[in-house]
Every structure is written in structure tokens, then in C-alpha cells.
Chain A
Amino acid sequence: MFTRIPRLTLIDYMIFAAVIAAVAYVGYRVETVLIYTWDWSVIPNYLFRWDEGRGSFVPNLLIKGLATTIRIAIWTMIVASIIGTILGIARTSTRLFPRLVSWAYVEFIRNIPPVPFLFLFYFFIASQIIPLLGIDEAIQSASPETLAVAEFFFGPANLMTNFAAGMISLSMMSAAYIAEIIRAGIQAVPKGQREAGQSIGLSHIQLMRYIVLPQAIARVVPPLAGQFITLIKDSSLVALISIQELSFMAMEIAISEQRFFEVWIVTGGMYFIVCYACALMFAQLERRIGVHRR
């Protein structure tokens, strides 16, 4: 394969030099102004600690928090995609009622900042919805094997209801944004596609399932990827409602160890890795879908 090497112009070199100078200046200011002694030695222990009993390294708070963040992000992507797709379809319905309900929902969420929404919704969910799900009963009656599987997917048993409440709150929020993306995708599918589907006798649901949605989703992979990355970052907000994910853990450690910069830099780096990996995965997916598009 032949790769094109971009040619750098004078302007590129000037921008590059300016960036280097800016970074150096900020570094210099931090060194002179900030009276701070860096100490990175506490960090590794919070990633993995030595377990005497087992005689091996086990994940500690930061890695556990990261695992919770990844779990919550993946479940939220799944749940929010399902709710968002249903809302998105409802937005394009020919009937007034579904259109009105999903419109109201989307506008409600989009015009409230995430923090008040999460607080209010979390208390509603935790007090009203979660008891209905019967998670606690299920955990109590579960066999150790089932519980081990459940813990792999949903995190520690004692925090599962908490996890579910946080995940559902976050999903309800993301669903509104996903609904808008799906709606735009559905509306971008040409009318002729529906008509062709109708003319071979497909029902409404079959038309949606086999003709409209596959094309709509293929079109919206890039904005959907952006929304998923936003969702991963927004998952840090559930720290506010005491879900013990990465940001929550970082906050605890930063306070107890008094090592704010080290802890937050490492935490930021961990988010970056997860988000960037997600972006790369979607770029790959987009390339594969893109092959046969007109």
C-alpha cells in the first residue's frame, strides 16, 4: 500500500513551534509558581496491591473503579441504545401521540444539565423503580456460581442496586441524545427505500427492521460514536450519587492521600485510554460499514 506523506509547509512549522513554546511556558510557570512536591509513589499501590493471603497482586481502588466505569458504560450503551432507538422511531411516527411523548422527553432531558437530572432521577429510581426489580431478593436466593457471574457483569453484590440505579439514570439521560441521532438517521433514509419495501409487501415493522433501521444506523455511526464517548465521560457524574466508579475512587484517594495532581492525572489518563479505544473501535466499524454505501 502506498501511503501519502503529508508535506509540511512553513505555516505548519510555525504552528508547531508556537505549541511547543506554549507548553514549555506553562511547564515553567507551574514549576515556579506552584509550590508542590510531586510524589507518584502512592499511585501504583492504588492500582494493584499485594495480597498477603493470596500471595499475588490484586486490583485496588483505581482499577476497581475503572472496572465499574467500564461496566456502567457498557450497560448504559446497551440500555440507552434500546430506549433511544425506540424513542427515535417514535419521533418519526405518523401518529401524534408517540411523537409527542418522545418529543417531550427529548426536550426535557436536553434542556436540563446532567447534575440536577441525575440527582432527582436517581432518588426517584432508587426509591421507586429499583425495589420493583427485586435485585436484592435475587441476590439473596442466587447460588454462589450465579452470583459470581452476576458480579462479573454488574460488580460487587452489595453495590448492585446502587449500580443499577446509577446505570438506569445515566441511560435515561443518554437515551434522549441517542433518540435525536436515530431520528436524524431515519429521516435521512430516502423515501424510495420505504416505497420499495412496501411494494414487496413488507409490513410497517418489517420495513423498519430490515430496510430503514439498518440504513439509518449505518449513517449515524460517527455521531453515535461521539455520543458513546460523551457517555463514558458523563459516567464520571454518577460519582455524585455515590456510585463507586473511577472518579469516585479518585476523589476519595486524592483527599485521603492529599495527592490531587498525581491522582487526577492518572485518572484522566485512564479515561483517555478507554475513550480513545472506543473511538478507534468505532472508526474501524465505520470503515467496514462504509464499503458498500452509495
Chain B
Amino acid sequence: MIDSADQETVIVMTGVNKWFDDFHVLKDIDFNVRRGERVVVCGPSGSGKSTLIRCINRLEDHQQGSIVFNGVELGAETKQTASLRAEVGMVFQQFNLFPHLTILENCTLGPMKVRGASRAEANQLAMEYLEKVHIPEQGEKFPSQLSGGQQQRAAIARSLCMRPEVMLFDEPTSSLDPEMIKEVLDVMIELAETGMTMICVTHEMGFARTVADKMIFMDEGRIIEEGPPEEFFANTKNERTKLFLGQILSH
């Protein structure tokens, strides 16, 4: 089943359709992600961006078409779903850190309970990644004691501690104050430089220009434009995309 081309392709979505009751939220999605590729997804609010990436780690399921991750077709929730999710990191707009655990415990929970690491191993791993997101000194604090930017970086570290193959970001800077956006984007750029496969839903076009290999524009549940960022920004053919870019680039 798996030929050499597939080895390089981590995610293959073919003809994916999804409905929320009778609301058609994803329409005929065809979408591939190669290993090490950095994809930026943008589009107006409500166009289905979150739903698209949530389908990849099964926070949502799809009704038609196929999603293949690392050669395994994703379907209804089974015992394997949890282990699949462990391979796909997810960073949320609202951080979703566990408020009753310290930052260090947030980072060690997955490695210990899912990967079976010892506390010492998990602590070491957590410290390694907290250093990578530049908050090694915050480990003993609780999430509520951190700034928004620090919380989001802690959430990134928590995901990285699972050593995922792919990282999904759902508008990671949208609920941050402007002065904190850069510290999070810098961490994401550093992560991109390590060769991590990333799919980012974001409207930070500066970030997109810097790291994206591929831009995707969604509208009303469809991918209506897909291409390298140079092409995407310079000469998009699509009127909707032009209009959208005009709106978000003007401020």
C-alpha cells in the first residue's frame, strides 16, 4: 500500500466532506501535507479552518472521503484514536492549559501517562522544551500566574513533549495582546527551523511569508486557493482571496 511517495506524505485528505447536522462545513477537501512542510491556512471566520485541522487529530470526524495519516486511514473513534492523537500536537487559541497542574506537570502528564516515561525522564524532557520556548524558570508556577504569551508558549511545550510528527496550530495568537504575539510567533519560527511539519491557521501574514511552504485559502468550507506564498501574495487570481488579503494586510 505505501509506496515511496507516500512515505514523504504525512497527511492525505481526499474528497473530504463534513456536516454539522445539515450544515455543510467542509466541501470536497483535497489536501496533502509532506513531511517537514509548513502550511498556513487562512480565510474568513466561519470558513471551516478549525474544523479542517480538528479532523486531522480526530477532535472532529468527517462523513465522506478519506483522511490518511502516515499510511493509516482515520475513521470512527477506536482504541487507536488516542495513540494517533499523541502523534499530532495541537495548540489552541485559548491555550487550554490544565489550570490545576503546574506548568511542569502540564508538560509531563502526557509523556508519563501516554508514553510511560518515568517522572525523572518526563521532567528532563519538559525542561528541555520549556527552554526551547524560553520559559524554563516558570515550571513550578500554575498557568494562571503566567502572561498570555507565556501560557501559549507553555502549551506549545506541552505538545512538543509528546514528540509529535505534526503540529497543528489553531489561531495561536488570536487571543493575545499585541505585545505578546511576537514572542509566540518567534517560538513557532524557531520550531519551523527544526524541520517540524506544521499546519497553522493564522492571519499573521508576516509569519506566513517567513515560514510557509504552502498557503491555503478557505472560504465557505472549500479550499479555493493553494500555492507557495510568493505566488499567493503577489498575484492571486481569486477575487475572494484578494478581498480577504486586502482586509487583513491593511492593518
Contacts and interface: CB of A to CB of B under 8 A. Distances in A.
Contact of B110 (A192, A200, A214, A293): A200
Contacts of A56: none
Contact of B82 (A202, A211, A215): A202
A37 interface: no
Interface string A181-211: 0000000001011011111111100100011
A215 B87 CA distance: 26
Given A201-B83, A201-B86, A292-B142, A196 B97 contact: yes
Contacts of B124: none
Q: How large is the interface on A (under 10, 10 to 19, 20 to 34, 35 or more residues)?
A: 20 to 34
Nearest to A201: B86
Given A210-B109, A210-B113, A293 B86 contact: no
Contacts of A29: none
Nearest to B109: A210
Contacts of A197: 98
Task: Give the interface centre of B57, B98, B158, B159 by most chain A CB atoms within 10 Å.
Answer: B98
A200 B90 CA distance: 8
B94 A192 contact: yes
Contacts of B113: 202, 206, 210
Interface in A91-115: none
A180 B114 CA distance: 31
Contacts of B97: 196
Contact of B159 (A190, A193, A200): A200
A218 interface: yes
B150 to A, nearest CB: 15
B114 A198 contact: no
Contacts of A215: 98-100
B100 to A, nearest CB: 5
Contacts of B147: none
Interface in B59-94: 59, 82-83, 85-90, 92, 94
A256 B227 CA distance: 94
B99 A196 contact: no
A190 B88 CA distance: 21
A201 B87 CA distance: 8
B57 A199 contact: yes
Task: Give the interface centre of A198, A201, A218 by most chain B CB atoms within 10 Å.
Answer: A201
Interface in A201-233: 201-203, 206, 210-211, 214-215, 218
A192 B98 CA distance: 10
Task: Give the interface centre of B59, B96, B144 by most chain A CB atoms within 10 Å.
Answer: B96
A200 B100 contact: no
B12 interface: no
B114 A195 contact: no
B162 interface: yes
A117 to B, nearest CB: 36
Contacts of A190: 96
Contacts of A199: 57, 59, 85, 88-90, 159
A202 B114 contact: yes
Contacts of B88: 199
Contacts of B99: 215, 292-294
Contacts of A200: 85-86, 89, 109-110, 114, 158-159, 162
Q: Which 6 A-B pairs have the closest CB atoms?
A: A201-B86, A200-B110, A196-B96, A199-B90, A192-B96, A201-B114
Given A196-B96, A200-B86, A214-B100, 20 more contacts: A195-B90, A195-B92, A196-B97, A198-B85, A199-B59, A200-B114, A200-B158, A201-B83, A201-B87, A201-B162, A202-B82, A202-B109, A202-B110, A206-B113, A206-B114, A215-B98, A292-B100, A292-B144, A293-B100, A294-B144
Interface of A: 190, 192-193, 195-203, 206, 210-211, 214-215, 218, 292-294
16 contacts: A192-B92, A192-B94, A198-B58, A198-B59, A199-B59, A199-B90, A200-B86, A200-B89, A201-B85, A201-B162, A210-B109, A210-B113, A214-B100, A292-B100, A293-B100, A294-B99
